Structures are given as structure tokens and as C-alpha cells.
A and B are shown apart, each in its own frame.
Chain A
């Protein structure tokens, strides 16, 4: 059976549309790298108490790099995300300090 070129084209369009609709909506093509990094780094605030000191330090370092990237953005985006990055970094720093104090307290 000979396939019509128009039919193949329509089928291709349909397959692409199905694949796109099945893909997760975020992080596929819309989000810039700084936003993906933000979502990954600041997704851990709810479980910050479960992290080790080394893991918290890594998250703080990632926040500091992210902060530099956010500072390059347009004013509105910078204002919103700088605050969000700082809130998230400050929480990690706060949990880290508390854990350090707890270890020092136990040692004394």
C-alpha cells in the first residue's frame, strides 16, 4: 500500500503534538537555566532539618551562585527572585548554624 505524503505529514504532526502534551510542562523548553537551578535548590527548604552540615553547605553555595545569576536579570524578576533566593539561603544558613551549635553544645 502506498502512503500519501500528506497523511505521513499529518501523522508526524499528531505524534509531535502527543509527545509535547505528554511531556512535563515545566523545565522542557520554557525555563531558563537559572530558574531550573532555583527550583532544584529551593525545593529543599521543607526538609532542611534532615540534611547533613555538608549538604546544607552545598545548598548555600548553590544559592550564592544563583544569587549572582539573578542579579543580572531585569528589575522585576530580580526583585522577586533575589528575595526568594535569600529567603531560601538564609533558611539553610540558619539550620546549618543551629546544627553546628548543637554539635558544639553536645561536645562541651
Chain B
């Protein structure tokens, strides 16, 4: 009964936040989940914004490789990527350079060019798109049907997909990554739920560090290593802080309560 009350409470908080911010959050289709529109300079340069799909990249690279070693920020537009950066081999241009990519294990199209003709412009429109094409949806459906299923988000259980060897994201890229020592995984810990009857949270360092290393979360997102040092609430998480930086945007959504609140009584 208390669990139901907690879930209702969470839903009420979510609806209230949506109401307070003056907009109803549209439920995303699985193929849209984790999509980011990047428009720092595109429109100034006469190009449509870049529509970046996380699903098509996270099968190849860990979060850490892109958000630490390649230098992409954690929020859309924060990196201020320019075409010239890509042309010099940074950001998208790290892999999208017209050469064989160690991440994608194939030759990947070149990301940007100073000059282009009409035929070459077709290459620009792979990333710079006015609206989502059905071809991208089809690509997603073809990929997703081979993957283990999940209840929410983009419907793919990425953790299982990696465990089953269906995806093998690359974590180190020669010439880009500093060669690191093997990560010593910190122990898992539990966090007490604030509502009676709701199972406590089991936080797995192992599950998080395998794709993120340390720097993605500490200290930018979580400023305390010691358990309980960072105080936060579900309201803040729903607002996109703390766990909400990734969960509800790219990683499974917060509405999948029992994925985190999983401690057995």
C-alpha cells in the first residue's frame, strides 16, 4: 500500500513540475529517446541543426570515451562545436573523418567541410536535418529488434546487450585517450528511500563506472564521494539534476522506479 502511495506521490510531483513549468512533456517514441538537437552555430551558417541520436553511437562507444576523452559536454549546446573543430579532427571529426574508424570498425563519413558541392551536401544532411526522417526510424527499429528488450526509454536493455556480447562499446581510442590504469571499482552502496515502504536504492558503482569512469560523475554531478555527502531529492532528479543528468534523457527513465529502488527487504 505504501509503495502505491509512493508511486502516486512521485507521479503527482512529476505532473506538478510539468504543470508548473507550463508545458506538458511529450512522451517520446523509442527512436526519439536520447536524441539531442545541437544548434550552437548551425543556423548561423545556414544549415539545419544537428539531430544526434545517442542510440546509434552508444552501441560503439562508452559514455566516457565521448564525454571525457573526446570532450562532449553533458548538455546540448554546452560544447559549442564548430565545423572547423570537426575538420581539425576533434568532436564528431574524431571518428567522422572519412577514414577507417577504430570505434565504428568501418569507414565513417567525413563530418564537415569548408566547401561542398550539391552532391557532397547530401553528406551534410546525414546529421544536419530539418526533421526526423523515416529512414532513421527504420534504422532504429532494425537495430532494436535484435537487442534485449526493456520496459521504458528506448526499449533496449543496454546492460544486457553488452553482457550478451551484442554490443561492445570501445572505451579507449589510440591517439585520443590517455592510456589509463585498470579502474579499481569502488563498492556498491545502498541509499535509504525517503518514503516508508519504498525499497532502498542499490547504487552499483560497477554498472556506472564500466561506461562512465570516474570523471563523468565526479565532481560535476556528484560532489561527494562519501555516502550521503550529496543531498538530493526526487524533485531535483526530475528537474534533471544528479541522476537526472542521464536518467530520463539517455539512460533508462526515472519512471522505472524499481530499477534503482531495488533493495530486497
- Bound together: yes
A-to-B contact residues, CB < 8 Å: 25-26, 38-40, 42-50, 76-77, 79-81, 83-84, 87-88, 90-91, 93-95, 98, 101-102
B-to-A contact residues, CB < 8 Å: 68-71, 73, 80, 82, 84-85, 88, 90-91, 174-175, 178-184, 186, 213-215, 218-220, 223-226, 229
Interface SS of B by simple majority: loop
Shortest Cβ gap from A54 to chain B (Å)? 19
Shortest Cβ gap from A46 to chain B (Å)? 4
Partner of A80 from the list B71, B179, B218 (CB cut-off 8 Å) is: B71
Shortest Cβ gap from A106 to chain B (Å)? 12
Total contacts A-B at CB 8 Å: 78
Shortest Cβ gap from A2 to chain B (Å)? 46
Shortest Cβ gap from A33 to chain B (Å)? 15
Shortest Cβ gap from A22 to chain B (Å)? 16
Shortest Cβ gap from A57 to chain B (Å)? 16
A31 to B90, CA, bound (A): 16
A38 to B226, CA, bound (A): 28
Beta-carbon contact of A94 and B223 below 8 Å: yes
A95-B179 CB under 8 A given contacts A45-B215, A88-B215? no
Residues of A within 8 A of B69 (CB): 84
Residues of A within 8 A of B71 (CB): 79-81, 83-84
Beta-carbon contact of A79 and B80 below 8 Å: yes
Beta-carbon contact of B181 and A87 below 8 Å: no
A95 to B219, CA, bound (A): 9
A26-B175 CB under 8 A given contacts A44-B181, A79-B80, A84-B68? yes
